Structure 1
Amino acid sequence: MKRSDLIELLVLAAIWGASFLFMRVAAPEFGAVATAAVRVAGASLFLLPLLGLREGLGDLRTHWKGLLLVGLLNSAFPFALFSFAALSINAGLSSILNATTPMWGALVAWAWFGQRLDGSRMLGLALGFAGVVLLAWDKASFKPGGSGFAIVACLIAALSYGIAASATKRYLTGASPLAVATGSQFAAALLLAAPAWTLRPAALPSGHAWGAVALLALLCTGIAYILFFRLMKRVGPTNTISVTFLIPVFGLLWGWIFLGETLSTSMAAGCLVVLLGTALAVGVLKLPSTSPPATS
């Protein structure tokens, strides 16, 4: 990987890590669904002209059914769930739970495409789930004021991302990356429009909340997608997916700097276990081979 690609990877991780910070600021005033709706609507307005100028809108018409499905699974549903979680858990914890996405993706690919799970991947899945248990052990209360529902929401959102990855592979292979990014955001905006209007905030959100949701739309969604797909093209999916392991670092860092969040020992330990499990589950790390050496 070239130095310029590595810098872009770090920038992308920093941007996506910041999305959890912006949701913490926006969601209390907008509400979870409206935060997600404004995010995808803004990203659509940013991406649609780019797609029209560069490639035209033909892919949107050809693949509209697949884009509608991916828009639901990769944007509308998980964005609303993470915004809901931001109402009660800190940005750092949300970003760590988001890092389970490739682990869920490996599990979905096994169930959907019959992709083989070797010993390393199975150990990774077990470790990843153990890390989630460690993270949630003293927080997953479902009583009023507890964080149980927020943690479950993050895990369902990560699972939705994992399903979306397989759905993209199955239904949108013929569409360009920019068309997938644009079409999925536009579809998500359509899907969220009615519920967001129904659940709109009673009072006009503050300037800080509007600024946070604008950054979510333009920076964390529009620009981030362009960086992501450019890296996918230049360095391949295996290298690009390593951004997943960097996002919690920035999520924790931005939460500490801007929101005064703290990192507990159990959260740090759970984060390391989740990241190790995810690295094994997606094949970034592998167990050493135990097969005997070949003899001549």
Structure 2
Amino acid sequence: MAVGSIIRLFSLAAIWGASFLFMRLAVADFGPAWLMFGRVLLASVFLAAVALAYQRSLPLRQYAGHFMLLSFFNTALPFLLFAYAAQTLTASLLAVLNATAPLWGALIGWLFFRQDMTLRMVLGLLLGICGVTILVGFDDVAADSAALPAIAAAAAAACCYGIATWYTRLARPVPAFINAHGSMWGATIWLLPLLWLIPMPVTEPASLSLLAVLALGVVCTGVAYLLYFRLVQDLGATPTLTVTFLIPVFGVIWGHLFLQEAIGWHTLAGAGIVIGGTMLVTGFSIRAITPASVLKEQ
């Protein structure tokens, strides 16, 4: 793997891992609905500017229904659920629960799409369950019964990503940038009515919260998508999957550095087991990121 691709890969993981930190910083001032609306609106405007700069049109009429369905399961609903969970759970736990999305995808494929469930996949699912159990069972915040709705919300958000993965597999192919750009506008439409139903907790958010929303929208969504597309273009889809296993690492690091979240043995053990289970379910191996594999996929 080229040095430039390695830098982009770790940068993407660091950025997506930081999204849980920014959610924790801003959700108290904005609330889940306003926070995520600001995120997707800023990302939509940013991607629109990029599309304008590169003269890439957005075929809304052709893909309007697709954008609305994809944006609901891949952006609007999971973003909202994670923001709700961020009111209670640590950034570390949110990042690890996010990494269970491939496990949900495998379970959905077996239950509804007749995907074969191999022994390796079963072992991966069991490991994932064990990892989450360790994380939740020994975490001081998550062990409180009042945190159960937040844990359920974060797990449901990861499940949404699994649903979205299967939808994109079965839907007609759409270029990746158009998918991202259109789905951001779709998510903006989905979240807009909630602004009247779920009011903002404070009338004047702190400057730190405003910066966190800006970072979420422009950096963690807009810039992150551009990095992701570049990696898929340079490496292919399978090697880029490495970012899934790096996000929890950075989520734990950022939570510890900036929010003073404790890193206990249960954090490291639970995260490691979840990542190992995800690798088994997805069939990922280190050989997938070797130069020969990259050239083969391209």
Q: How many residues align?
A: 283
Q: Which has the higher mean CA deviation after the structures are superposed, 113-122 or 177-186?
A: 113-122
Give the deviation of 1:2 after TM superposition: 1.7
TM-score by length of 2: 0.90
2:248 corresponds to 1:251: no
Give the deviation of 1:34 after TM superposition: 1.1
* d(CA) in 1 for partners of 2:64, 2:94: 31
Trace 1:135-146 onto structure 2 (pairs within 5 A): 135-138=135-138, 140=142, 143=145, 146=146
The equivalent residue for 2:13 is 13
* 1:38-66 CA distance string (max 9 Å, x none): 10011001112322443543533211111
The equivalent residue for 2:216 is 216
Label 1:64 to 1:111 Cα distance change in 2 as closer, same or farther (>3 A): farther
> Contact conserved, 1:67 with 1:172, CA < 8 A, in 2?
no
The equivalent residue for 1:98 is 98
Label 1:52 to 1:169 Cα distance change in 2 as closer, same or farther (>3 A): farther
> Contact conserved, 1:34 with 1:197, CA < 8 A, in 2?
no
The equivalent residue for 2:290 is none
| Counterpart AA for 1:213 | V
* d(CA) in 2 for partners of 1:112, 1:9: 32
2:277 corresponds to 1:281: no
The equivalent residue for 1:269 is 269
* 1:116-145 CA distance string (max 9 Å, x none): 3322112111111121122122455574xx
Trace 1:99-178 onto structure 2 (pairs within 5 A): 99-138=99-138, 140=142, 143=145, 146-173=146-173, 175-178=174-177
The equivalent residue for 1:191 is 190
- Give identity over the alignment, percent: 40
- Secondary structure at the aligned position of 1:107 is classed as helix
Give the deviation of 1:112 after TM superposition: 4.3
* d(CA) in 2 for partners of 1:112, 1:3: 41
* d(CA) in 2 for partners of 1:21, 1:277: 24
* d(CA) in 2 for partners of 1:114, 1:233: 30
* d(CA) in 2 for partners of 1:147, 1:252: 19
* 1:246-282 CA distance string (max 9 Å, x none): 1111111111111111111112211111011000010
The equivalent residue for 1:35 is 35
Any gaps of 5 or more consecutive residues in structure 1? Answer: 287-296
Any gaps of 5 or more consecutive residues in structure 2? Answer: 287-298
